Structure 1
């Protein structure tokens, strides 16, 4: 056992981020001799709790924790998710889906979309969505797990994530973490003491007068960044110029409409509205720019576009797009909203917590807190935020909408350098490159660029190894197989009932 090993980890703040951190650290490092993990939270302080949609990486996190998927789905009122449907983003009346998984089948060593682009020059107008099983099945309300044992089926490569009640997920993780020895302490933090020589946080002081000491502090205190900003002065990189939405209203409503395994994002005159169908209700919210619409107008728009009666009053949130300049300073590491905020347009909020935990465990420190490792953590964190930012900005920049001041601003803004490069590469000959193993794959970039109306003027020359007739024949065959496979899948409701889900909807109290 190292003499300088971390003995006490203190997590400040609960909610999804705090309990993900507690469970993750306990699962990976909890059996280290002498290691204690304590989470401090106050029931008086609410959590944001709107991060209800996820991306496929969440399945890896749950698997790492040893979670039984069916038990998790039942406990969190979860539904499955095959992608995100975007309505009215390109123009009013238009829609497309950003799917998990792949399109079609690569042929002649060339990515499928180059053959699709060639097909369009030959007069085949079939949209790209028709070649994705995730899209076709999602729109038909169908779901099935991937079948890697069927390598010739589109099911072999389908990806999926979850939509769940974030509060129930936090409670689920709390049960796991406490079972692994994590101690929860109730209390509001009123003071922080620091080491006079190193500047490290030595303890937090609670309203009760209790003092909680630690070696490593994980800040999960939400937007306020109690330790990382309030104590360590991390600074904030403001991206409001590229992502001008700065407020949100969130409200659950009674179940209604379809229960497609898709998160829906509908563009509004000053932002966008999310729709997340769970087993028992629908989560909704309006992310908007306060410079372009009033809070009252935003609330009216949100409430007028629900599938069922609201189950609560809209919950307001205020935020600024961007990130802490340093997510790790001294012995304080920020996760979740304490580290930064990027609107949930592509369901990345929970993933950023997950990736931060993975990064922390990779670079888990000793009490000496090696600055080289801290710098590595910070550099990788900023890189991930930049990659996600560029992908989000693509949705706003690549639009034909000119029906409001908000959309005129977004359409005409100068894109970040990385996004400008990706757009230029695609417009030339349909080429897409994934930089440094970034979060969003070539499939994701392709989906949104094509969906938002970005057009390629050419395609990979090797696609011409197939004759024109053979290209069209194969395209037709692939979309037939995709459609037939989707039709053979059970509906999502059938699938959920098979694993014991109730599906009884919540109703508004009379």
Structure 2
């Protein structure tokens, strides 16, 4: 936090969990400041608000809000997501899971040794070496599983309504003023936004305005701009149909000719969804592809991209700052990471330009790395038939993703990038699952006998399978 004169007043605009979390986090960080939450209607396209998920690396951000993960799980306000399963997405079905691959004796990285025997009879898929994937397929969860499952990670799906209720309780405890309005009008001042006017004519002034009002925001200025990401994240329409369902540790995806279909479990039901490209597929056809419930499904228009995060005294969070599209549902996680960064660098009332520039640099890096990881699901995939997929080979990857793909295709290596939030083995699962094989074998892995590697890999996968099966009947599962 900056040593300059601290903020005295903060106004947060938005009515969903992102805005509520921001107001609560600022109130906790600045106990002497007056924090006002200006509640506005939640945009249907604000996926960060409607479908909040924290990735493995982002679960620690619950501490910013004074929320306890175990309590959320116990009250069914959160459910674990151990893996994502992809079918018809390049060869055999594959899983992407957080955490690290199981430890296997031998020389070189586990994925490099797996590549030595990939495709041989009896060789398991790479995801069979991921503890979280083994637990997901066994249908069992433990927050702290025993070895050899102890390298597992998990994401956290949050119930939007339950999260909002928990945040509201915290807002009241920290005496955050809450008002409601349909819209706000920003009134410019010498150094940015001087105040906002509510529907009833009431003006609210603040040192800092947090725009968490969903796509487009309510306080955005023309100079803030918007960088279009549809060349890399091509799904710009989403159909959502709720259906009864029990708990599931997997999110399930299936590529279809016009995009992809998925099932997203929630605490008490599930969403069947279809993501597609509006330029290639009409909503009527998409509804037919979705099938059951398609006619009544909610249609959401999306605009994947990134705007200016912090400009003057306006800080944009959530879908007002970045839209990552529907794949993986990483928007809320990014919003919490950027909120944590804002609090760590928190300027005083003067808003030093260099400090804001540092925030934008790091916040943009975090957003861009998530974009590249999600884009790899599209641009690294083999050519498939259908209006959604046939245009993808014509689209160039971003420079950073191009570097990742180039180095991985050459020698199975992933270069380091700052502000990365996805573990290397999760990256590898996405690339290997889609059939990417390096042109050159790793020299270190070449030191071991292929037969020995094959036996060690199979033993490692079997150890995970047996441990997950044992956990399902033990006392450590929940």
Q: Could you say what secondary structure the match of 2:102 adopts? A: coil
| Cα deviation 1:199-253 (Å, max 9, x = unaligned) | x1111111111111111000001112211x2x36300111222222211122221
1:50 counterpart residue number: 50
Does structure 1 retain, via aligned residues, the 8 Å contact 2:370–2:421? yes
2:24 counterpart residue number: 23
2:387 counterpart residue number: 405
Q: Could you say what secondary structure the match of 2:350 adopts? A: coil
Q: Could you say what secondary structure the match of 1:426 adopts? A: helix
Q: Which moved more, 1:348-357 or 1:282-291?
A: 282-291
Of 252, 277, 283, which residue of structure 2 is paired with 1:289?
Answer: 277
Matched, 1:364 2:346: yes
Gaps of at least 5 residues in structure 1 are: 497-510
Matched, 1:140 2:111: no
Does structure 2 retain, via aligned residues, the 8 Å contact 1:53–1:276? no
CA gap of 1:139–1:210, structure 2 versus 1, over 3 A, is same
Task: Name the TM-score, length of structure 1 as normaliser.
Answer: 0.86
**For the residues of structure 2 that align with 1:140 and 1:329, how far apart are their CA atoms?**
48
**For the residues of structure 2 that align with 1:7 and 1:421, how far apart are their CA atoms?**
44
| Cα deviation 1:30-52 (Å, max 9, x = unaligned) | 32x3x111100135866734324
Map 1:402-481 → 2, pairs under 5 A: 402-481=384-463
1:160 counterpart residue number: 154
Map 1:59-78 → 2, pairs under 5 A: 59-78=59-78
1:90 counterpart residue number: 90
CA gap of 1:491–1:14, structure 2 versus 1, over 3 A, is farther
CA gap of 1:383–1:206, structure 2 versus 1, over 3 A, is same
**For the residues of structure 2 that align with 1:457 and 1:3, how far apart are their CA atoms?**
54
Q: Could you say what secondary structure the match of 2:231 adopts? A: coil
CA gap of 1:2–1:400, structure 2 versus 1, over 3 A, is closer
**For the residues of structure 2 that align with 1:286 and 1:456, how far apart are their CA atoms?**
32
Map 1:323-342 → 2, pairs under 5 A: 323-324=306-307, 326-342=308-324
**For the residues of structure 2 that align with 1:275 and 1:60, how far apart are their CA atoms?**
26
> What's the offset of the Cα at 1:21?
0.9
Gaps of at least 5 residues in structure 2 are: none
**For the residues of structure 2 that align with 1:43 and 1:412, how far apart are their CA atoms?**
39
Task: Name the TM-score, length of structure 2 as normaliser.
Answer: 0.92
1:507 counterpart residue number: none
Number of residue pairs the alignment of both structures matches: 475
Matched, 1:219 2:211: yes
1:105 counterpart residue number: 103
**For the residues of structure 2 that align with 1:3 and 1:436, how far apart are their CA atoms?**
28
**For the residues of structure 1 that align with 2:354 and 2:25, how far apart are their CA atoms?**
23
**For the residues of structure 2 that align with 1:63 and 1:215, how far apart are their CA atoms?**
25
CA gap of 1:127–1:89, structure 2 versus 1, over 3 A, is same
Q: Which moved more, 1:408-417 or 1:7-16?
A: 408-417
**For the residues of structure 2 that align with 1:315 and 1:493, how far apart are their CA atoms?**
41
Map 1:158-237 → 2, pairs under 5 A: 158-195=152-189, 197-198=190-191, 200-227=192-219, 229=220, 231=221, 233-237=223-227
**For the residues of structure 2 that align with 1:283 and 1:38, how far apart are their CA atoms?**
34
Does structure 2 retain, via aligned residues, the 8 Å contact 1:232–1:329? no
**For the residues of structure 2 that align with 1:3 and 1:243, how far apart are their CA atoms?**
40
**For the residues of structure 1 that align with 2:453 and 2:42, how far apart are their CA atoms?**
62
